[in-house]
Structure 1
Amino acid sequence: MTREVVASEVVTSGAVTSGAAVSTRSRSRLRRLAGATAAVLLLTGVAACAGVPATSPVQVVRQVGAGDSVAPPPAPVAGANSLDIVRGFVTASASSADRHGAARRFLTQEAGQDWNDGAALTVLEGQIDTVPVITGAQAPGTATVRIRGTKVGRLVPQTGAFEADVGQYSSDLQLVQRDGQWRISRLPAGVVVGLDEFRSNYKAVPVWFVDPARRRVVSDLRYLPVVPSRTQPARVVDMLLAGPSAALSGAAASLLAGAELRANVATGADGAVVVDLTRITPPDDAARRLIAAQIVLSLAEVNVMRVRILIDGEPLLAGRSEWTREDVAGLVGEARPAPGSPAIVVSGGRVGTLSGPVPAAPIPGPAGNGGVAAVSAAVSADGRRLAVVARAGNGNQLMVGRMTDGVLNTVEVTAGILTRPTWTPDADEVWTVADGRRIVRVPTAPDGPAEPATVDAGALTAMGSVTDLRLSRDGVRVLAVVDGGLYVGAVARGLDGRVAITEVRKLRPQSLEPVVSADWRSTELVVAITRNPDLLVAQVGVDGLALSEVISTNLTAPLTALAAGPDRPFLVTDQTGVWTRELGAQDAWRQQLSGAAGAVPGYPG
């Protein structure tokens, strides 16, 4: 029987350290220390060098990558040992240029021909170990090296979408020594890279599709190589033609389904990018404008300012030769709070506003004057409608009405506990969760709320009890806290009116739990508060790749409530009241409302 031993030799900071392997507990402490040092990362990164839990500078997701200025990975060093070769291979694998040409330099000629680099790209976070594996049958001039680390997910090559998959990663590579130089002779299909190297070599790009009602466009986050930048427009169009990612199955569609490129994406003599399509016949001008929005907004993320869209050589819309972002901005589905609409707060059973000279000034009507015992509340994005969860006997009831005068109608939704309400972008529905298991949506109309309906949410409630639920501001996703875990799901709407939550995915289970509350900062970023003392307030990418700590200086744990919104300061309730912090601020939080330990703040939407 062949004996296999993983030697207690771990490469750290580019050197080999003999002795006992670094323990899991020690690595955990190092990772926490690194996270504390890099407190405001939007995309927490670690060096791809094995065994280095690194810190990184502040970086916004949209700024990942720097075009063709990214330095090429170093080539193999003459005389390098087998561990160095594997470590260099992992670092070089982040560059996809020339079919991962930089990484292939670490392979034998035969392995370079056989390696399937087109399989999924696995991203590792934290310390990456390269460890020699000793077997009884090891032939002279050969070696086996194991790559170990913690995976956070994988990039799907065909779509460029990131799929979260947290867990331990382990893979063995075979090496041979030829002419005194070690090279990798056998390796598994696919690519494995560290998070820092990934974010240096890939750019986050929202690709745009349409909502189920075909009224607006919604974003779907993708990643594409930053080098060479000249190929980015063509890659983005390929992603568009491939359709929405699996994460938005049933929640987004494409009016480009079945379309093909009639010619390569190219830049015309006047500087406009030309996209010439075929095998597509839009039914009307409204559909043509949505097609323009899909293409123009997606290409704008790779610095394409003007687009000439053709179908079989003719302009997409008669009389319009070019399109810009401004031409289609009105079709974006993300609902932003109406200008001047204030944040609200529920405190002491009353609903008030959090802006103006009087803290928690009561809103009009029974919700503000104490006529109903408010537990939580939400204002629609347009600032016109109000939903209130109020105490009723030994339980809760939902009430819906107008924000202007505070008149409320009782809805036939009661339970022992109802979560804080949340609105769809057009304010045509308000949602809440009854007793942690039944998600209810209440259609609304000018003359009042309609009959409540139950959302098919078995995929979400199967995870446990739902204690917080927020609809995204484009209406195609939900964010939920379920038994202390943070989940996202797609809102799938059928032609028969049925609504279901599908494609449920858990975000960062090892880093965030237990989560108390969460909210959407944008359609791409969510904010969560936790009972994890090392990460009280965190920002997380909607796909689970981005993770950063928000400084929690001078907050008094435990935190109980949270509100976030586009271009709005964070609002957090701790044991002394409601605190606020401007986006990007490096200083401490500022108290907005004191003496309100149980307050529940909220932004419109």
Structure 2
Amino acid sequence: MPDSGEIRAVKASPRTDSQVRVEAVPPRKGATPLQVVEGFLEAMTSDDADFATAREYLAPEVSDKWQPEAGTTVLAEAPETGQAREGGSSNPGMDFPLHGRKIAQVDSQLAYEAFTPADYSRTIHLSQRKSQDGSDALEWRIDQLPPGLVLGASDFQRNYRPVNKYYFAVGRNTVVADPVFIRQRLDPSTLMDPVTQSVRSLLDGPTAELAPVVESSFPRGTRLKDGVALTFDDRNTLEVPLNEKANGVSRAQCDKMAAQILFTLKDLSSSRVDQVELQRANGGMLCAFSSGQEEAYAPDHLWPRAGNQYIVDGGGRLAVLPRDGQGVPSPVLGPLGREQQSTGQIAVARDEKTAAVVSADGRELRVAPIFSARTQIPPPLVRSKGAGPEQRLSAPSWDGLGDLWVADRDPGHGGLLRFAGGTGEPRPVRIVPEPDGARIESVRLSADGVRIALLLERDGRTTLQIGRVERTGPGDDPEVRVTALRPAAPQMETVTAVSWAGPSRLVVVGKEAGEVQQMRYIQTDGSTSAASVLPGLNNVEAVAASDDERLPLVAHSDGEGIVRLPSGANWQKVVSEGSSPVYPG
């Protein structure tokens, strides 16, 4: 804690208890321009369904046109008002500057995008209008304002909640999570309760970030039937009445539509869904789909869910950690489990039949069976010509389609490489646009196969970037490229390690400016919460997480060795010697 320096007052939006409903206060008669501005800013943080009270602070013609749903600007703290000044002769009235530090933006599709904190400056203009009560009194009202909403981070977290809506990867029966933010704690009579909002957002289609790589099973134009709020009956069945656009779908298509809804509602912890019934516009049933059936479309439905944790042990062998964290790691039966290995980084295939290993010097990548005791280690798939380990091969990663990925960091001959099925010749993967001057430090593919997490090093700083994996051409030999890289942890000055920890979540090890190393969960859109910070662990060099949240995190700490973090517990030491902890993938 600091023990010197001046004391400064900080205007922060209050951290309100999650169960508290904030009621907006309308403007009082004779309110000053400052009182109108502050009342309006406070009303934007309220739970009004249509921001009715906030609109009372606006001039009538502005109130009719104001669209709070157009987007939300998220500031680190509540917006501050600057010194008022009189408007010019062409625009008489009062101008109030708004200041803050912008950290994120939510667009009209409810998609969140995090930014490196930057100065935010806008202006609210007020003029005097005749009172709406019929008198001749003049009242100050806002007639120019920034678009959408402007909220401090804590008000945003109180009023909005993250939800994953689900679509299918293009050409595959595998769902992909598309994170958005919806308002919470709204009266169901407004037809905008969390369940109804989530389903409506699902029907609106995927966000721009994922639209090129996913598709919806719902026919274009499908919407909820007018005037309907979704509710559960006493059987925990959700009836979803759709408009006429969905009337002619087949049973197979209807099942996929219902699966999208079931996956989406799983993120609403307060909502238990045992069955979804999709209905035609006339009330007839399209199909009934029970909870659990949707798992046939899960990203990992093709792979076993053994939950094994692997490391490179002190002898350089591929070994399996004991499930309960007690005892010693067991070397695998295959050639990678024998003595005198020169193993650096590893990645175990999602079917747990083979593993990819990069040699300790980073020069060679090999793939070998895990449990075939008679097999010899095959020749390398690729050799790097980089001058040193930091300019050779990164740790490998397997995607959800069974392809193997690795980055060759050789400045002259390197790039991102993919091996179809984990064999054959390396196939270069273009990154569009190319990250000029940046070196790929780490590669991690998602289970759904449509997203990639890259650690990029530039000028001594390593950042986390998330991109789309786009596949075009024939299914057996597609052209693959990575597009639309965007920062996922802009608040961190440098990132040390990353692992996928769910359909749209990563566990990230890094440091903010002037802070110590920390480990926390971060969504692919860059959003976080105070609860996402994990118990402290020093000098973490690698971390591994499973898509199954019930399984423990595993990490390698310089000084501690291999440690694990079971749910609800603290870090537990497993073994003193070892490195490269991984789950399959």
Q: When the two structures are superposed, what TM-score results if normalisation uses the length of structure 2? A: 0.81
- SS of equivalent residue, structure 1 residue 247: coil
Distance 1:140 1:344 in 2: 68
Q: What is residue 36 of structure 1 aligned with on the other side?
A: none
Q: Alpha-carbon deviation of 1:420?
A: 1.4
Cα pair 1:490 1:504 within 8 Å, conserved = yes
Cα pair 1:249 1:490 within 8 Å, conserved = no
Cα pair 2:79 2:150 within 8 Å, conserved = no
- Structure 1, residues 268-301: CA drift from partner, whole Å, max 9, x if none? 9966423334445888654443222123333454
Distance 1:365 1:177 in 2: 81
Matches within 5 A, 1:86-235: 86-95=37-46, 97-126=48-77, 128-134=79-85, 142-157=93-108, 159-166=109-116, 167-176=118-127, 182-226=140-184, 227-229=186-188, 230-232=191-193, 233-235=195-197
Greater Cα offset, 263-272 or 497-506: 263-272
- Structure 1, residues 241-269: CA drift from partner, whole Å, max 9, x if none? 33211121322111225242483345599
Greater Cα offset, 380-389 or 291-300: 291-300
Matches within 5 A, 1:428-507: 428-435=402-409, 437-444=414-421, 449-459=423-433, 461-462=435-436, 464-483=438-457, 484-496=462-474, 497-507=478-488
- Structure 1, residues 481-536: CA drift from partner, whole Å, max 9, x if none? 11111111111222431112122110232x21211111111122211112443342
CA distance 1:91–1:26, change in 2 (3 Å): farther
Aligned counterpart for 1:351 among listed residues 313, 318, 324: 318
Matches within 5 A, 1:191-340: 191-226=149-184, 227-229=186-188, 230-232=191-193, 233-261=195-223, 263-264=225-226, 265=228, 272-279=238-245, 285-299=251-265, 301=267, 303=271, 305=273, 306-310=275-279, 321-334=287-300, 338-340=304-306
Distance 1:55 1:239 in 2: 28
Cα pair 2:167 2:215 within 8 Å, conserved = yes
Distance 2:171 2:486 in 1: 24
Q: Alpha-carbon deviation of 1:117?
A: 2.9
* 1:263 aligned partner, one-letter code: K
Consecutive unaligned residues of structure 1, counting only runs of 5 or more, are 1-24, 32-49, 58-64
Cα pair 1:218 1:334 within 8 Å, conserved = no
Aligned counterpart for 2:573 among listed residues 579, 584, 591: 591
2:500 paired with 1:520: yes
RMSD of aligned Cα (Å): 3.6
Matches within 5 A, 1:383-462: 383-391=352-360, 395-405=362-372, 407=375, 408-415=377-384, 416=386, 417-426=392-401, 428-435=402-409, 437-444=414-421, 449-459=423-433, 461-462=435-436
2:520 paired with 1:574: no
Distance 2:307 2:493 in 1: 33
CA distance 1:259–1:203, change in 2 (3 Å): same
Q: Alpha-carbon deviation of 1:371?
A: 4.8
* 2:484 aligned partner, one-letter code: E
Distance 1:474 1:591 in 2: 32
Cα pair 1:209 1:217 within 8 Å, conserved = yes
Cα pair 1:384 1:402 within 8 Å, conserved = yes
- SS of equivalent residue, structure 1 residue 485: strand
Distance 1:87 1:139 in 2: 25
Q: What is residue 132 of structure 2 aligned with on the other side?
A: none
Distance 2:348 2:33 in 1: 61
Distance 1:300 1:345 in 2: 32
Cα pair 1:211 1:251 within 8 Å, conserved = yes
* 2:396 aligned partner, one-letter code: P
Q: Alpha-carbon deviation of 1:132?
A: 1.5
* 2:192 aligned partner, one-letter code: T
Distance 2:65 2:232 in 1: 41
Cα pair 1:463 1:482 within 8 Å, conserved = no
- SS of equivalent residue, structure 2 residue 42: helix
Q: Alpha-carbon deviation of 1:171?
A: 0.9
Aligned counterpart for 1:537 among listed residues 519, 544, 563: 519
Cα pair 2:114 2:526 within 8 Å, conserved = yes
CA distance 1:575–1:295, change in 2 (3 Å): closer
Distance 1:255 1:430 in 2: 29
* 1:466 aligned partner, one-letter code: I
* 1:525 aligned partner, one-letter code: R
Q: When the two structures are superposed, what TM-score results if normalisation uses the length of structure 1? A: 0.78
- Structure 1, residues 561-591: CA drift from partner, whole Å, max 9, x if none? 1112232222232221222223344x5x322
Cα pair 1:300 1:325 within 8 Å, conserved = no
- Structure 1, residues 178-227: CA drift from partner, whole Å, max 9, x if none? 76865433213222112222222223221110012321222211222221
Higher relative contact order (CA 8 A, sep 6+): 1
> How many residues get paired?
536
- SS of equivalent residue, structure 2 residue 562: strand
Distance 1:283 1:491 in 2: 30
- SS of equivalent residue, structure 1 residue 174: strand
Q: Alpha-carbon deviation of 1:334?
A: 4.5
Greater Cα offset, 208-217 or 277-286: 277-286
The sequence identity of aligned pairs, in percent, is: 24
- SS of equivalent residue, structure 1 residue 480: strand
- SS of equivalent residue, structure 2 residue 82: strand
CA distance 1:301–1:525, change in 2 (3 Å): closer
- Structure 1, residues 304-325: CA drift from partner, whole Å, max 9, x if none? 73432245659776xxx42233
Distance 1:78 1:508 in 2: 46
Cα pair 1:124 1:149 within 8 Å, conserved = yes
Aligned counterpart for 2:23 among listed residues 51, 65, 72: 72
* 1:292 aligned partner, one-letter code: A
- SS of equivalent residue, structure 1 residue 193: strand
* 2:105 aligned partner, one-letter code: R
